Every structure is written in C-alpha cells, then in structure tokens.
Amino acid sequence: MEKIPASEITPEHLYFTRRQFIAAASAVAAGALLSACGVPSPPPTARPTIAQPSPQASKGVDELGDKLTPFDTITNYNNFYEFSLDKEDVAPRAKDFKTSPWTVQVGGLVNKPRTFGLEDLLKFEQEERIYRLRCVEAWSMVIPWLGFPLSKLLAQVEPQSKAKYVRFETLLDPKQMPGQRDSYFDWPYVEGLRLDEAMHDLTILATGLYGKPLPPQDGAPIRLVVPWKYGFKSIKSIVKIDLVEAMPISFWMESAPNEYGFYANVNPDVSHPRWSQATERRIGEFSRRKTILFNGYADQVAPLYAGMDLRKNF
C-alpha cells in the first residue's frame, strides 16, 4: 500500500483556518456593528486593552492615539532574513511558506514538557493587542496583533524553579527559507527572554494581525511579540521553546556581541554603537518622532529593570 504523505492529511489545519476565519469575520462584523451604533469609545488608558471583539481596532488607534499602520504596509515591509535581506522582497519569497502541519516543542526545565500542535495553540483565548513595534533600524509601526499571553502557555508546562530564562528557536528549513542557505549567518534564529519578561502580561505569542491569520512574512504561524523591546527580539515562526538556566545567546548577540545585547529594550538614551536611537520614523509619516523609553510601555515594564544599568545591559 502506498503511504500517504503526512502533508496530505491535515484536516485539523483546514478546520482550524476555517474556524479562525469565521471567528475573525464575526469579530470584524461585530466591530463594524458597534461603531455603526455609535458606541462611545472607552477613554484611553495606559494599558493596551484586550479587545474582543476589537473595539480598539475599529477605532484605528493605539492607547496613545497613534494610528494603526495599514495592513498592506505591515505585510510588505518585513525584516525576516530567513527569506530575504530586502524588506520588500520578503513577502513574495515567503508566499508559499507552509505553516501546517506545525508544532511547537516546549521543554527544558519544565515539569510537563509538551509538543503543541498549532490547533492546540489556537485553543488559548485569542485577544487583540495593539502594540507599537520599534525596529532597531529606527523605524516603527502600530500593529493590531491577535494572540495570547506567553504566560498562559508557560503555566501549562510548569517551569521548574531552576528555570531562569526562556529560549526560542525559529524553524530551520533551508528548502523553504532561502536565506538560511546563506552560511554567512548562524541559523537557526534564536532569541531569549528572562523568565519574568516572558511571564509579563504584555508578552504575547501572536497568531494573527488585523483579525486575520498571520501572513508568512510576518512570522506565521506563531511568533513572539515583546512590544517594549526592539523588533528583532520578537522571533518569528517559532518551533521550539525551552526553559533554561543560563542566559541564551541570541542570533544577534552571536553575530555582533558588542552591538546587540540580550535585553534590547527600546531606549532613546542608549544608542546603537553606530547610530542614534533618539528618534524614529513611524512608517507613513513624514517627520521623525522622538523615541520613547521602553517604547511607551515604561509604566508596565520599568519595574522589571529596577536597579539595573540599562547602558551596560543593552
């Protein structure tokens, strides 16, 4: 009997996308209804509000009143070296990237190691989070993500007391990711967070944006989003998450240790060794804007770094 390749048997995936599409569509419809009824928008709060079904996105601004970056821009201007070094070439090259079946192996110093299928990850309640994304290259966007707090996933695997850091790894598949054939870089892409950063409520695993499943070029099917850190910390297309004792060495730390540190917190006063981080260009705007400490999330995350020298721990 001929063996049917695993790639042919993916009903879960089909179920999932259909279900997610319906959920997204109803969210959009509900949002439209709400705004059509003239429901007054809630007063801006310092905390990005959970939006279900998405009153924030229908407002089209983040909690600071900054406009959302258009979907087309978010999906056509991407730093994703696995596909191309050219930000505008990532989308066409990632077009046929296969995101199902997909599993994320969660292990290391945990009591209940587990491999999650994408369908398992989508069972976590998906919420909308509107976050600013500040790239280390001094440009920024405002993105309405769909996802869930990483803390919820970590709670399920029960980190042991020895675990101090979380290490993330991107898929290694040079056949699909042409950039990985370039041995100039040290693949696969690796990132890390301190456990308390990983457990912070602002830290999410994103599975979508603008109410739609994540497009490949934005890190499909699941990526990290840490809004107070430079964009490169928000690792894409994750296949492995490990709880570890020692600080992980990230892709960028490995490549240029004196330029890219482990923390990579957005900070206008700590410049990159070669360029200033004092200002940024919000994509779509003409003038530069001043960069804000912790990308505007200082109220929530500054306590994580109390007493730390942010210049040394860049």
Is the Cβ–Cβ distance between 31 and 55 less than 8 Å?
yes
Torsion from C-alpha of 62, 66, 72, 74, nearest 10 degrees: -70
Q: Which is nearer to other proteins, 277 or 295 (CB)?
A: 277
Q: Which is nearer to other proteins, 58 or 277 (CB)?
A: 277
Q: Which is nearer to other proteins, 58 or 265 (CB)?
A: 265
DSSP string across 136-197: TTSEEEEEEEEEEEHHHHHHHH-B-TT--EEEEEE---TTT-GGGG-TTS-SSPEEEEEHHH
User: Residue 140 and residue 227: Cα distance in Å, rounded?
Assistant: 11
3-state secondary structure of 270: coil
Is the Cβ–Cβ distance between 146 and 211 less than 8 Å?
yes
DSSP label at residue 238? E
Residues in the chain: 314
Cα→Cα distances 139→71, 87, 229, 253, Å: 16, 12, 13, 21
Please list, residue by residue across 93-105, b when 16 or more beta carbons sit within 10 angstroms of its beta carbon and e when fewer do: bbeebebbebebe
Q: How far is the CB of 273 from other proteins (least distance, A)?
A: 8
Q: How far is the CB of 278 from other proteins (least distance, A)?
A: 5
Q: Which is nearer to other proteins, 283 or 302 (CB)?
A: 283
Burial class for 76, CB neighbours closer than 10 Å (0-12, 13-18, 19+):
middle
Interface residue list for other proteins (CB under 8 A): 73, 76-77, 85, 87-88, 136-137, 139, 184-185, 252, 255-256, 271-276, 278-279, 281, 283-284, 286-288
Q: How far is the CB of 283 from other proteins (least distance, A)?
A: 5
Q: How far is the CB of 63 from other proteins (least distance, A)?
A: 23
Radius of gyration of the chain (CA): 19
Q: Which is nearer to other proteins, 75 or 126 (CB)?
A: 75
> CA geometry: angle at 223 spanning 125 and 290, to 5°?
105
Q: Which is nearer to other proteins, 115 or 255 (CB)?
A: 255
Q: Which is nearer to other proteins, 87 or 98 (CB)?
A: 87
Residue tagged 């297309």 (tokens): 237
Q: How far is the CB of 176 from other proteins (least distance, A)?
A: 21
Q: How far is the CB of 78 from other proteins (least distance, A)?
A: 10
Torsions phi, psi for 114 (to 5 deg): -160, 145
Q: Which is nearer to other proteins, 41 or 276 (CB)?
A: 276
Q: How far is the CB of 212 from other proteins (least distance, A)?
A: 19
Q: How far is the CB of 294 from other proteins (least distance, A)?
A: 20
